[in-house]
Amino acid sequence: MVVRRAPAAWLAAAALALSGCTGTQPGTEPGTDGPTSAGSPSTTTAGNTSHAVAPPGPREGRLWSADVLVQWDEPLSDEVVRRIDRLKGVARTERIGLGQVSIENRVLTVAAVDPGDYRLFNRADVADLDEAWERVAGGELATSRRVARRLQDEDGNITLGAGGESEAPTIHVGAYTPQVPTIDLVVNKAWADDIGMDDDNGLLISTDSITPARIRKPLMRIVGRKASVQMLDIASRIGLDPGATLTAIPAGGTIGSLVGTFRYHSLGGGRIAPEPRWVASNIRTEVVPILGAVTCHRELFPQLRAALLEVVSSHLADEINPGEFAGCYYPRFIAGTTSLSNHSFGLALDLNVPGNLRGSVGEMNRAVVAIFKKWGFAWGGDWKFTDPMHFELSSLKRPG
């Protein structure tokens, strides 16, 4: 995939046009789901010129409904796209990149797109918000106000990776806009390599006036069992397509390297069923200091054991109550959402639950926290929306 970089003259013009842009631009009021262009509250320039592509200009062409989203674990071939394009009921397709990033125990879907083409699959008020797509082309990120409120820092940036991952890119939020169902964050394709994701492993499909479910079976015959096929009309109502085998491909960084391709389906009640082969290859039950037998990802144990041994040797074992341990491997969505938790991968654990509830400062001994950080764990107590019981693997640090 060739990424069209923006001409230097446009980059200079864009920087000038956005300079001095602060706070919320004309649009809907905060807290609603309408589109709003957003600048940084504390900086005068927000674009990333090293990750800019050619600006899309005003919208050209008609809008298309976003009806089906297909995700592979590798770039899709031209032949597959041609076969899908010829399928009865398919009105339009658009290739995009899809990957998942872990941010504060939430696994969110990132789409790497061509801003000028992808905008046509958005609702009219979003598609026609020219500045939003110019900002995405200029190297910024678009997301919903709900996601931004939870994850962006005081400068309006979101880091696309778990805490402690120095290689995770930090991207400025350029626009608050409602997103295509199941997609959380949108960037241009120049960011794909930095995020550690493909830029051509997803396909948006419009069936226009045809009910999307009518193409599910013939589409599945073309794409095969390894692809995830989601009906977005269903996802827009309930957050996911319960008839789909879903795919998460954590992008780059520590979690991406350990998890690989993660296929699952929803069981209802917030629970999921990961592919049995993935579970058999990755999940183990072992005995560790203080906690006893725990079930986690096999790659978590060396660092968990090292951290707990240091807690013991530092005479801090009494600061962790094994009776208040809430588990490690727990395949589920974050409560009230359709976002996977890092517990689904067995790469997180919750300690001393009663005194360390979400939204509180917590009672976790800070010397214990420091030991866990030393051994490559991020701590939920550092987050904007705190979760002080929660520790998750964020970098590999193997005992000597």
How does residue 372 score in pLDDT terms, banded at 50, 70 and 90? very high
How does residue 254 score in pLDDT terms, banded at 50, 70 and 90? confident
How does residue 19 score in pLDDT terms, banded at 50, 70 and 90? very low
pLDDT of residue 15: 32
pLDDT, mean of residues 35-44: 47
Q: If DSSP states are collapsed to H, E and C, what string results for the chain?
A: CCCCECCHHHHHHHHHHHCCCCCEEEECCCCCCCCEEECCCCCCCCCCHHHCECCCCCCCCCCCCCCEEEECCCCCCHHHHHHHHCCCCCCEEEEEEEEEEEECCEEEEEEEECHHHHHHHCCHHHHCCHHHHHHHHCCCEEECHHHHHHHCCCCCEEECCCCCCCCCCEEEEEEECCCCCCCCEEEEHHHHHHHCCCCCCEEEEECCCCCHHHHHHHHHHHHCCCCEEEEHHHHHHHCCCCCCCEEECECCHHHHHHHCCEEEEEEECCEEEECHHHHHHHEEEEEECCCEEEEEECCCHHHHHHHHHHHHHCCCHHHCCHHHCCCCCCCEECCCCCCECHHHHCCEEECCHHHCCCCCCCCCCHHHHHHHHHCCEEEHHHCCCCCCCEEEECCCCCCC
Q: What is the pLDDT of residues 115-172, one digit of tens each?
A: 999 999 999 999 999 999 999 999 999 999 999 999 999 999 999 986 555 578 999 9
- Amino acid identity of residue 83, one-letter, is R
- Please determine, for residue 26, whether its predicted confidence score (pLDDT) is greater than 60: no
Contact (Cβ atoms closer than 8 angstroms) between residue 73 and residue 249: yes
- Please determine, for residue 385, whether its predicted confidence score (pLDDT) is greater than 60: yes
pLDDT of residue 166: 59
Measured CA to CA, the distance from residue 177 to residue 11 in angstroms comes to: 23
pLDDT of residue 138: 97
Per-domain boundaries in the chain = 68-266, 282-393
Instruction: Give 196's contacts (C-beta < 8 A, 6+ positions apart).
Output: 99, 251, 252, 253, 256
Q: What percent of the chain has pLDDT over 90?
A: 75
Q: What is the pLDDT of residues 97-115, one digit of tens each?
A: 999 999 999 999 999 999 9
- Please determine, for residue 318, whether its predicted confidence score (pLDDT) is greater than 70: yes
With CA atoms as reference, report the closest residue to 344 among 2, 102, 42.
Answer: 102
Which range is least confidently modeled, 223-237, 310-324, 362-376? 223-237
pLDDT of residue 163: 57
How does residue 46 score in pLDDT terms, banded at 50, 70 and 90? low
With CA atoms as reference, report the closest residue to 385 among 359, 363, 355, 361.
Answer: 359
Q: What is the pLDDT of residues 285-307, one digit of tens each?
A: 999 999 999 999 999 999 999 99
Q: What is the pLDDT of residues 268-278, one digit of tens each?
A: 889 999 999 99
- Please determine, for residue 38, whether its predicted confidence score (pLDDT) is greater than 70: no
* Start-to-end CA span in the chain (Å): 42
How does residue 340 score in pLDDT terms, banded at 50, 70 and 90? very high
- Please determine, for residue 30, whether its predicted confidence score (pLDDT) is greater than 60: no
pLDDT, mean of residues 207-223: 94
pLDDT of residue 32: 52
- Please determine, for residue 28, whether its predicted confidence score (pLDDT) is greater than 80: no
Instruction: Give 345's contacts (C-beta < 8 A, 6+ positions apart).
Output: 250, 255, 258, 259, 262, 282, 297, 329
With CA atoms as reference, report the closest residue to 39 among 146, 126, 136, 156.
Answer: 156
Report, at the CATH architecture level, how domain 282-393 is classified.
2-Layer Sandwich (3.30)
Query: For 161, how many CA atoms within 13 A lie in the half-sphere containing its CB?
Result: 24
Structure tokens at 73: 């674990």
- Residue 101's DSSP bridge partners are 108
Cα–Cα distances (Å) from 139 to 23, 98, 131, 177, 360, in that order, read 18, 17, 13, 16, 35
Measured CA to CA, the distance from residue 99 to residue 73 in angstroms comes to: 9
Higher pLDDT, 254 or 311: 311
pLDDT, mean of residues 303-324: 98
Count of C-beta atoms within a 10 Å radius of residue 88: 9
